[in-house]
Amino acid sequence: MSMNYRLADMLTQIRNGQAARLSEVRVQASKFLGSVLEVLKNEGYIEDYKREETGKGKAEFVIALRYQDGEMAIREVVCISKPGRRVYSKIENLPKQFNGLGISILSTSRGVMSDYDARKAGVGGEVLCSVF
């Protein structure tokens, strides 16, 4: 199976893993996905993640999923930017997700960060996804 957009694949695996009530899911590792997972961990949407070597120079992330009172911590994930259509936003034009209850994840010149951190830093960038 060809994976052209690893971010969408990772978010789908997390969403499906939570729907199946799994305790953890595994995805292929990359620096970019690690930085997105770090934002999800800091914002409380996943418990933790760790990188495991699988051999032949390949690695994968083991993502510990989070549940709150038996409910999924991530209720909705939407990929905003796609390989065929990138979406960029100035920080002034970035809308709040679900009246501030959700987050947007941005790829900025200072790295991958949540919309809250991007507003504090005063930088805009590519809007990767929104999470609620």
64 vs 50: CA distance, rounded Å: 9
Q: What is the pLDDT of residue 57?
A: 86
Locate tokens 């951190």: which residue? 117
Q: Provide the mean pLDDT of the chain.
A: 92
Q: Which DSSP string do the residues of 26-48 spell out, in sequence order?
A: EEE--HHHHHHHHHHHHTTSEEE
Contact in structure between 36 and 7 (CB atoms under 8 Å): yes
Q: What is the pLDDT of residue 96?
A: 83
The mean pLDDT of 81-102, rounded to a whole number, is 88
For the chain, what are the domain ranges?
6-131
Q: What is the pLDDT of residue 77?
A: 93
* Three-point CA angle 84, 44, 71, nearest 5°: 95
Q: Which CATH architecture has domain 6-131?
A: 2-Layer Sandwich (3.30)
Q: What is the pLDDT of residue 2?
A: 43
The mean pLDDT of 115-123, rounded to a whole number, is 95
E-strand stretches of the chain: 24-28, 46-55, 58-65, 67-68, 71-72, 77-79, 88-89, 103-108, 111-114, 125-131
The mean pLDDT of 100-109, rounded to a whole number, is 93
The mean pLDDT of 74-103, rounded to a whole number, is 90
pLDDT in tens, 36-73: 999 999 999 999 999 999 988 899 999 999 999 989 99
Asked whether the predicted pLDDT for residue 117 surpasses 70, the reply is yes
3 vs 65: CA distance, rounded Å: 22
Query: pLDDT tier at 3 (50, 70, 90 boundaries)?
Result: low
